[in-house]
Amino acid sequence: MNANKFREVNRRVVTPDMCDALGHFNIQYYFETLSDGVVRIMEILKEPIEEIPERGTAFALHKEESHFLAEIYDGDEFYMATAIERFGNKSMILQHRFFSAEDDRELFRSRFITVNMDLKARKSIPFSEEFKFMAEKEFPFYQAEN
């Protein structure tokens, strides 16, 4: 997997308190990192999290799939990077990767199927054309390697 096919959205250095009894990065921090990354993606796409109540819309995670490729330990630095796999009318699929800051080695991958949620009606709604344009401008498209 080539790191330059994704856009970096956040970076993290693992501290001892983030490690579990097995001595590696605890799963709760994987998902905290993913969540923080999605907040950053929303900022990049001019959909900041603090404007959600006023806007009345937000990304909502519908389905997630993870693959743990290499252990991450105390002191390791890595970054989360994202690409867009697909845009639908009301949903998009995001491919997230954690790469080693030292050598760009892929450590973890996660696939998010998200929907554009109307928070009042509690249902998915179409993405605006402006949003799609911005997303396509800011993030590379993911193409699976054969």
Sorted by where each starts, the structural domains of the chain and their CATH numbers stand as: 3-138 (3.10.129.10)
Backbone angles phi, psi at 92, to 5 degrees: -145, 155
Give me the pLDDT at residue 1, please: 60
Q: Is the pTM of this model over 0.75?
A: yes
The alpha carbon torsion through 39, 41, 45, 51 (nearest 10 deg) reads 0
Give me the pLDDT at residue 47, please: 86
Q: Which stretches of the chain score pLDDT less than 70?
A: 1, 146
Give me the pLDDT at residue 76, please: 98
